[in-house]
Structure 1
């Protein structure tokens, strides 16, 4: 088994070879067809998450050990199962649901794995898909993708699922409502494509990149503006919406985008924060109540939501975001492109 691993944080990944893993219990071995490169991989690669105000979450302090194999957007074929595994799963082509809990706590036992405090997330806690094989705890976490392109199936596990789950948290919308999407990278662009099919609301996009703004228009946005200057962006959005948007979805998650999103909310406005770039914003507690404002975080999604999303993608009505294919051997080049903001759409690696 060949894996591209972090051996030192913020340094190029190294290719290392290991014996094919021996499976235990209900584990299954998935031969990787495609693995998406997600922006959150940059945080893992750097070794920390920025919490704002000079505070960080160190992955080492959270128990991360090196070497480690990233990659949580995986599509592939089940080629082996453990001694208590479901043998009928062998030969299944599916997308791996990576957001797996410990399986023992109250949250997991009640079917709420995303609330688990000690998860076994593939690609962030357990070795992931920057490899030619990945071990999955149970066959039920390999969702058959049917006629889908495996590259499209792979990115459904995170960027697609993250966008879909965030949209599911929106309040009821009408054709007279506007939704502002901040950030038209891989996840934001997926949200635009899904929003145009799942809601009647008009979609406005803010991004500093002209190319990404054009991509958002092609994906279904009715308008796109630059957010390089916060004040001008706010003015432009309000002009387009005829006031405040009904909801703002921040797929960047910096101090400036968060503050702009909050400032744009009208009475009863709903702000959903998805991006993880870091920082902190000032919030008036009184104004939350007086203006009935909702600020909600959204991180990835449930297994059931992934199953629903895959079914939705299979009917062919939703145009997938642009996908570039690269060999796994170019993973360090891809990470550099992502870090420098040069990647449009999504990049998927193949062993």
Structure 2
């Protein structure tokens, strides 16, 4: 079933036609929905730092080396936006007609649906992804087609604009935290990078009962926000004695480091503050190379883990958690959808203290 009122309707996407290029408002016709598909009107879409990397077209690998996103299968034109909350306006299956006019959070990390990872709730690890806002058109648009209603998550009771952050910022943070839990009493967790994700991590950790949270950032303003979010102590990453100060403050009991920057310096700092048996989880994609003595990793039994977004099951867990615990106490700036390009530029320049959420009025 496809509601006829949406057949041949037009909508606008804010897309770029070449990496690093300007955004343009392009008009498209809504196609007839295929079986299982759902059409939503985008209400809110978060602006994520990975959008900046996708717009640039590469990840830095250190030195002059770059990982080309074109070679990874991301081909312009690209409509960014993977933190989407929208209202269902049309469905491809008659059994989904009860969803019309209801508002949902969208799980964006969609895979092929057939491989072992997809069949085991690890679609975010699928090697042939169809992720919304990356490989498929995203939420910097008036409307968005979702391949199945299974990717729609009920957010009743939550602030819809804030809930958009759960799809990536929240999920990525939650999945990374899952990898280090539980944290023993007396042990510390170090959060490196106190932008939007770092602040969410501090709030979630604090909500989970972790008391010794050490926050690290080069920005004094962000360190102050981290303290307000629940960090017990903050440190300047530019301080030449930062490692020694963190070791002293944590009594050499840093069980885990969550690195939301992910460059040479932050990874090195993270490894150097870990206690024996500690775990470094790298989330940030600023880029660089990891150089560290292998015998030290072995003799200290250190674990180094990369964490990329999260599963559909984890997002459902996170939404349930968010309905019980308010951890959205971070700065949020609302902007109109047509300010997408300016928002990407501001985020790339480091001029955003918390999060930007685009609103489709």
* TM-score class, shorter: over 0.9
Alignment of 1:269 with 2:278, yes or no, is yes
RMSD of aligned alpha carbons: 1.5
Distance (whole Å) between structure 1 residues aligned to residue 327 and residue 199 of structure 2: 12
Q: Which residue of 1 aligns with 2:313?
A: 304
Alignment of 1:139 with 2:139, yes or no, is no
Q: Is the 8 A contact 1:25 1:85 kept in 2?
A: no
Q: Is the 8 A contact 2:186 2:253 kept in 1?
A: no
Q: Displacement of 1:53 after TM fit?
A: 4.7
Distance (whole Å) between structure 2 residues aligned to residue 57 and residue 336 of structure 1: 21
Q: Displacement of 1:222 after TM fit?
A: 0.6
Q: Which residue of 2 aligns with 1:75?
A: 85
Structure 1: unaligned runs, 5 residues or longer: none
Structure 1 length-normalised TM:
0.96
Distance (whole Å) between structure 2 residues aligned to residue 244 and residue 234 of structure 1: 13
Alignment of 1:91 with 2:101, yes or no, is yes
Runs of 4+ in structure 1 off by over 6 angstroms are: none
- C-alpha deviations, 1:18-70, integer Å up to 9, x for none? 11232112111111110000000011000111223543221222222221100
Q: Which residue of 2 aligns with 1:47?
A: 57
Q: Displacement of 1:165 after TM fit?
A: 0.7
Q: Which residue of 2 aligns with 1:215?
A: 225
Distance (whole Å) between structure 1 residues aligned to residue 93 and residue 183 of structure 2: 49
Q: Which residue of 2 aligns with 1:285?
A: 294
Q: Which residue of 2 aligns with 1:164?
A: 174
- C-alpha deviations, 1:186-245, integer Å up to 9, x for none? 11110000000113341010011111111111111111111123x321122122112251
Structure 2 length-normalised TM:
0.93
Distance (whole Å) between structure 1 residues aligned to residue 226 and residue 279 of structure 2: 21
Q: Displacement of 1:257 after TM fit?
A: 0.5
- C-alpha deviations, 1:283-314, integer Å up to 9, x for none? 32222221111111111111111111111111
Distance (whole Å) between structure 1 residues aligned to residue 300 and residue 230 of structure 2: 30
Distance (whole Å) between structure 2 residues aligned to residue 62 and residue 84 of structure 1: 36
Q: Which residue of 1 aligns with 2:249?
A: 240
Distance (whole Å) between structure 2 residues aligned to residue 9 and residue 288 of structure 1: 38
Q: Is the 8 A contact 1:34 1:75 kept in 2?
A: yes
Q: Is the 8 A contact 1:10 1:46 kept in 2?
A: yes
Q: Is the 8 A contact 1:219 1:319 kept in 2?
A: no
Structure 2: unaligned runs, 5 residues or longer: 1-10
Distance (whole Å) between structure 1 residues aligned to residue 116 and residue 278 of structure 2: 33
**1:109-148, aligned counterparts within 5 Å?**
109-148=119-158
